[in-house]
Amino acid sequence: MASIFFKDTYIIVPAEPTWTGRFPLAEWDQVGTITHVPTVYFYDKPSESFQGDVVETLKNSLSRALFYFYPMAGRLRWLPRGRFELDCNAAGATFIEAESEAVLTDFNDYSPTPEFEKLMPQVNYKNPIETIPLVLAQLTKFKCGGLSLGVNLSHAVVDGLSALHFLSEWGRIARSEAIETVPFLDRKILWAGEPLPPFASPPRFDHKEFEQPPLLLGEKDNVEERKKKTTVAMLKLSKSQLEKLKSIVNTSKYADPARGFTRYETVTGHVWRCACKARGHSPEQPTAIGICVDIRNRMQPPLPRGYFGNATLDVVAASTSGELISNELGFAAEKISKAIKNVTNEYVMIGIEYLKNQDDLKKFQDLHALGSTEGPFYGNPNLGLVSWLTLPMYGLDFGWGKEVYMGPGTHDFDGDSLLLTDQNEDGSVILATCLQVAHMEAFKKHFYEDI
């Protein structure tokens, strides 16, 4: 792979003065993934109709975007008991300008590889959290005139929908258009920094996501599993393959005839079964799958349009490998569907109350899992599968046209998976999955042969 030359690094601050001060974060901001989530966009060479300077366009529009989304120009700050808050201090975002001898065709099908890392702005979590930008962007110019924009956004401040809201408005500003949706920034609507109102009746607690996920039978911890070498694959399901899977689950005895299983429930059930087979579990091996659920429209009343923050929570479906494999696909899909249906307004409130009452939140934060044996780990015998199926991911145009490819950056935790729509083919989906090297080929075999 051609080397990359880092030409310059800029600190981009809001274009105008913004509110400054300490900003309480909601409980869902402070648990799960609090590190940065990388995405990368590739663009063909800007056409002659684009008259501006690419670097200046991106820098100036980012500065304007940070005026509207001023929390993104701040920094996190640790508080006692594993909590943190947002210091809205206008410290700014990092913008890196780089050049590469590579050409776009070197990236083949754009599958995430270690080379992708060079296109992503790197975050050093050994630095104090108070010094780490919440937004880092890297523009890389290729020899052919093509471009890539790698973006790393802090998941402690935004979930996927809010991240894409920020990026789409950045693009809109770059095209000299007015922003479409003003962000709703007040997290007190999710009781950030405030006590919850009393429950009408004693709540029933059933939040498996706060428990440690199952270990391999015979093991006292997951230290050895965390050490094992992993690999990433991008696996496509065509529209006809997807329809075949949906037909299998929706004609099973587990299907709800009034509703049917969704695309996500169907594919996630299939992935869960295939992973159990590929990993060679014994039938009695407990296994769990982490599922990310958007709560914006599940709250009563629903969260305001443009709510900017984390409004997703992880729920867990659990079974044994033997049950999943010996039963038809509908069994796995039903487990996942029930876990999602459990997420009601009361369920969310109970979860918030539980977290508010915890002495320390560190055990729920992925930051402490990096290179260590602490923090949540959804590798063997478990999985985590996040859906990007309904996110407005594609079409980020800064004035020189829409991207030719957009996808996740590298992820190297065993069991870490994403489901996204295919940019180039209507009706098909792509599974981006990270598994142990020892399991990947068997997983691919089952993933396609079991359809």
Supply the residues annotated as catalytic. Answer: 155, 397
How far is C-alpha 236 from the geometric centre of its chain's CA atoms? 19
Question: Comparing C-alpha atoms, which of 117, 141, 118 is closest to residue 46?
Answer: 141
User: Residues near 435 by Cβ (< 8 Å), separated by ≥ 6?
Assistant: 230, 231, 233, 275, 278, 414, 415, 443
Report how far apart the first and last C-alpha atoms of the chain are (Å, whole number).
Answer: 36
Structure tokens at 377: 């780990």
Count H helices, E strands: the chain? 9, 15
User: Residues near 241 by Cβ (< 8 Å), separated by ≥ 6?
Assistant: 428, 448, 451
Ramachandran category for residue 32: left, alpha or beta (phi over 0 → left; psi -120 to 50 → alpha): left
Structure tokens at 267: 């594919």
Question: Comparing C-alpha atoms, which of 448, 436, 439, 423 is closest to residue 110?
Answer: 423
Distance CA 377, CA 290 (A): 10
Beta bridge partner(s), residue 387: 419
Q: Angle at the Cα of 389 (from 386 to 393), degrees rounded to 5?
A: 105
Backbone CA torsion sign across 156, 160, 162, 164: positive
Distance CA 73, CA 63 (A): 9
Distance CA 254, CA 256 (A): 7
139 and 285 Cβ atoms separated by less than 8 Å: no
Q: 3-class DSSP state for residue 283? A: coil
Beta bridge partner(s), residue 85: 77
Question: How far is the CA of 212 from the CAs of 216, 379, 414, in angstroms?
Answer: 12, 12, 16
Distance CA 434, CA 412 (A): 6
Q: Phi and psi at residue 340, in whole multiples of 5°?
A: -70, -45
Question: Comparing C-alpha atoms, which of 71, 352, 377 is closest to residue 225?
Answer: 377
Structure tokens at 188: 């007190």
